[in-house]
Structure 1
């Protein structure tokens, strides 16, 4: 499973971390993904969804 939201496609972002002395090191930003049971094409499935999509109501949760 990739670290990508199934709804909006938000994924890992890479960049540089700068210390106080301006030493650069690579780092990654990982989205806050939750494994939820949702209705996909009329059937319940477990998918990875970012918290932004959950909060905004873009996901129909299955019980």
Structure 2
């Protein structure tokens, strides 16, 4: 079962979690320094929705952005 929006194709992507240490220069410090980089995943905000697709009612996975944009006709 893929974690992907059926309308726009938005899916899980990978990136880095970048923790920083130190006081920022703006606050009077020497600047923040990167301590380490750890891989992480960014997952889409998906919902299972009963919608009309090609005139038939079926359950689809839709991201919140598509729902707000009105791309989905709920059944």
Using structure 1 for the length normalisation, give the TM-score. Answer: 0.93
Deviations 1:11-61 (A, max 9, x none): 001011111242110000000000000001111000100000000100011
Q: Corresponding residue for 1:20?
A: 20
Specify the SS of the correspondent of 1:5.
Answer: coil
Specify the SS of the correspondent of 1:36.
Answer: strand
Q: Distance in 1 between matches of 2:50 and 2:10?
A: 18
Unaligned runs of 5+ in 1: none
Unaligned runs of 5+ in 2: 22-34
Larger Rg: 2
Q: List 4+ stretches of structure 1 deviating above 4 A.
A: none
Count of matched residue positions in the alignment of Structure 1 and Structure 2: 62
- Write 1 or 2 for the structure with the bigger share of strand: 1
Q: Distance in 2 between matches of 1:56 and 1:20?
A: 36
Kindly report the root-mean-square deviation, in angstroms, between the aligned alpha carbons of the 2 structures: 0.8
Using structure 2 for the length normalisation, give the TM-score. Answer: 0.79
